[in-house]
Structure 1
């Protein structure tokens, strides 16, 4: 009789479908590579950000320097000889001075000089190189080093305010245009400095300076305030 052949047993299907598991060392290597890639991307982003900030800062400084240079060029004109620019400050020197212990101009020509010079500064302020970064212009008055501190502090403020009165006065033949007076109202501030200053000499303490202040990098330019134009008929210091 022919024997009956028994079928061969096949291995279980699970023998050929064993799950795949990555080794611990390979897992650590992959994580390290992922970490290095992430760090490289982060460092690249930070480096590019710093380079952009540096570039913008250099462009700002260059623009401001050109603005101040244009103001300094005004002092080279024969009509404005005696005015000096140091840093961001415009010093009128002996061309604009005040009476001793008073906030009135020493001579009528001093007031007329203010109305002659400041409009030229406003022209520079309107230029793109200045308008982009210019924040405000401060008129700073000075007072004597000797005497009562509070009296001199108030006097220095009144002297700076007197300059603004001269600029906004509409009762003079050489009055400024409405456009210039409107810009002064939105851009200028009155400041004061008593004897806590490095300047020396009695004459130097009866003067004023105009200081240009510029916005910091990253700060937004504020819209000009809506201030009604002063008719310029009276000055508070005349009271």
Structure 2
């Protein structure tokens, strides 16, 4: 065997050893990755279960607090979105106006302090991400002879003005400075125009019920899941 053959023979085993070593490294990485993914799935599932339990518990707490008042307020509580929906437009605002009516102020005087008491209780205060005051309108504007796009933007401005008016009034109902601080952190005003209409089973708009104000609670489960995913990404080699 000449010198080149001997050199080549000694060369290939080293390449083979290198490839075997690399395969072992990739195998260890794959195992670590799968363990991380499995652990992440367990943690996400745990958050999802806790989220579901919190949703049900919070809905039950709101119902226990307000079930006797909802009929006279012309309101309801949606279990899926945890939103208290005030569905009587004539009680809320005058047509085309963003000023809260005296009748709605009377309702808010009764509703809002109790609402905050439930959400900021020891049981739920660490679960709250946002408390949204949402203003919704029908798809029409004025006598209904305005083009859809113009009506949408007119209603957008009106719904935004209305939610700010409701927020401003509710802010004055805070019991103390600590509660005002929590409101500044968690409560937002959101005018949504006609983007979330109420419709019947045939898909036709129910214009009267589309004109409403909602107090909607968002929990922080989504943010917790995002944090878990980011942590897993940092842990993966």
Q: TM-score, normalised by structure 1?
A: 0.66
Please point out which of 133, 138, 160 is paired with 1:139: 133
Q: Match for residue 235 of structure 2?
A: none
Aligned mates of 1:46, 1:104 — CA distance in 2: 57
Equivalent positions of 1:20-31 (< 5 A) are 23-24=10-11, 26-31=13-18
Q: Any idea what SS the aligned residue of 1:92 has?
A: strand
Aligned mates of 1:191, 1:218 — CA distance in 2: 24
Q: Match for residue 212 of structure 2?
A: 207
Task: Give the number of the structure whose residues are more often helix, by fraction.
Answer: 2
Please point out which of 99, 105, 109 is paired with 1:111: 105
Task: Kindly tell me the number of residue pairs found equivalent between the two proteins.
Answer: 194
The CA deviation at 1:113 is 3.0
Q: Match for residue 66 of structure 1?
A: 53
Check whether the contact 1:153–1:194 (CA below 8 A) recurs between aligned residues. Answer: yes
Q: Indicate how the Cα distance of structure 1 residues 70 and 122 shifts in structure 2: closer, same or farther if over 3 A, else same.
A: farther
The CA deviation at 1:38 is 0.8
Equivalent positions of 1:186-225 (< 5 A) are 186-199=185-198, 200-213=205-218, 214=220, 215-216=222-223, 217-219=225-227
Q: Which runs of 5+ in 2 are unaligned?
A: 1-8, 142-150, 199-204, 229-237
Asked whether 1:50 is paired with 2:55, we answer no
Q: Indicate how the Cα distance of structure 1 residues 124 and 162 shifts in structure 2: closer, same or farther if over 3 A, else same.
A: same
Check whether the contact 2:132–2:189 (CA below 8 A) recurs between aligned residues. Answer: yes
- Most deviating of 31-40 and 155-164: 31-40
Aligned mates of 2:38, 2:217 — CA distance in 1: 28
Query: Could you give the per-residue CA deviations for residues 24-60 of structure 1, whole angstroms, max 9, x where no partner exists?
Result: 5543443243123212210111112212322222222
Which 4+ residue blocks in structure 1 deviate beyond 6 angstroms? none
Q: Indicate how the Cα distance of structure 1 residues 120 and 29 shifts in structure 2: closer, same or farther if over 3 A, else same.
A: farther
Q: Which runs of 5+ in 1 are unaligned?
A: 1-21, 170-174, 221-239
User: Quick one: higher RCO (CA 8 Å, sep 6+), 1 or 2?
Assistant: 2
Query: Could you give the per-residue CA deviations for residues 76-129 of structure 1, whole angstroms, max 9, x where no partner exists?
Result: 443343421243340424366333222234552x33333433344434444577
Check whether the contact 2:113–2:174 (CA below 8 A) recurs between aligned residues. Answer: yes
Check whether the contact 2:86–2:212 (CA below 8 A) recurs between aligned residues. Answer: yes
Q: Any idea what SS the aligned residue of 1:75 has?
A: helix
Q: Indicate how the Cα distance of structure 1 residues 219 and 114 shifts in structure 2: closer, same or farther if over 3 A, else same.
A: farther
Asked whether 1:166 is paired with 2:169, we answer yes
The RMSD of aligned alpha carbons is 3.1
Q: Match for residue 96 of structure 2?
A: 101
Equivalent positions of 1:222-233 (< 5 A) are none
